[in-house]
Amino acid sequence: MSLRNQWSIFLIALGFLTRIPIGNVDFSPEKLNKASRYFALVGALIGLLCAAVFLTAHLVLSQEIAILLSMVVGFYLTGGFHEDGLADVCDGFGGGYTKIRKLEIMKDSRVGTYGSLGLFSALLLKFLLLNELADPAIALILMHTLSRTLASSIIFSAHYASADLISKTKPLANSMSLTSLLILLISTALILALSTFVYLTISNLVILILILVVLRSILIKWFEHHLDGYTGDCLGFAQQTSELLGYLTLIILLGTPDVR
């Protein structure tokens, strides 16, 4: 586990989840599977960049516009990677009656009614929730991290949908070792530790984590019910829904500011 090799794996994780240039990296399917251990750190980086945009824009613009700009930057950084997964799951699960048909719909590059409604609802809800938070910047960093930890950990606990594994046309991290899971959780814990100093009490943090753990369990059972496993699109759906639930939980725990 040399530092040079781990840095290479981190760059693969960065290149997989974002559009940030990573240069020439020695890629292999094995390294891609290991890359999931650094998805939380990549999420923290995305959240940090979105938070920086929000704070900078909010110096001269309203909070609403600053939030919208931070969301746009997030879309640009990730290429709408997770949002695409959310839309595909909505289309597939909403319009398909068999596992094979659901997978066929999810692979279609076109967005249908269910996907459009799901994506529009998710983006609107994200904007409204962030606008209700007293400190959107820290919430962005926290939930971009936690949501990717939740989605990535599903790789360890569930199995990839066999029909999709045979027909998939693009590389995907579809397995996770115990070592990778521990690295994922430890890196997440370090970021959570920082958040308790500036944003959350320990009790509130525990409540937030418990709620996300429950959501994770529900999502795994839901994916298995529809597909007998998960796909890459399912992980995108998990990231988006856990991010939204996290913002909602933070509003309930911390309240909303009285004055903008």
Strand partners, 241: none
H/E element holding 20?
A: none
pLDDT (tens digit per residue) in 120-164: 999 999 999 999 998 999 999 999 999 999 999 999 999 898 665
Asked if residue 63 lies in contact with residue 136, where contact means CB atoms within 8 angstroms, the answer is yes
Asked if residue 236 lies in contact with residue 154, where contact means CB atoms within 8 angstroms, the answer is no
Q: What pLDDT is stored for residue 259 in this prediction?
A: 44
Asked if residue 227 lies in contact with residue 78, where contact means CB atoms within 8 angstroms, the answer is no
Q: 176 in helix, strand or coil?
A: coil
Asked if residue 205 lies in contact with residue 58, where contact means CB atoms within 8 angstroms, the answer is no
Tokens (6 digits) for 141: 């960093």
Mean predicted confidence (pLDDT) in 226-254: 95
Taking the model in full, what pTM does it have? Answer: 0.92
Q: What pLDDT is stored for residue 185 in this prediction?
A: 96
Lowest mean pLDDT among 23-27, 93-97, 153-157, 230-234: 23-27
User: What percentage of the chain exceeds 90 in pLDDT?
Assistant: 72
Q: What pLDDT is stored for residue 23 in this prediction?
A: 84
User: What is the residue type of 142?
Assistant: L
Residue 21 to residues 25, 50, 83, Cα–Cα distance (Å):
11, 17, 21
- Is the model more confident about 248 or about 177? 248
Q: Which residues of 103-120 are buried (b: 16+ CB within 10 A; e: fewer)?
A: bebbeeeebbebbeebbe
Tokens (6 digits) for 170: 């693009």
pLDDT (tens digit per residue) in 188-223: 999 998 877 778 889 999 999 999 999 999 999 999
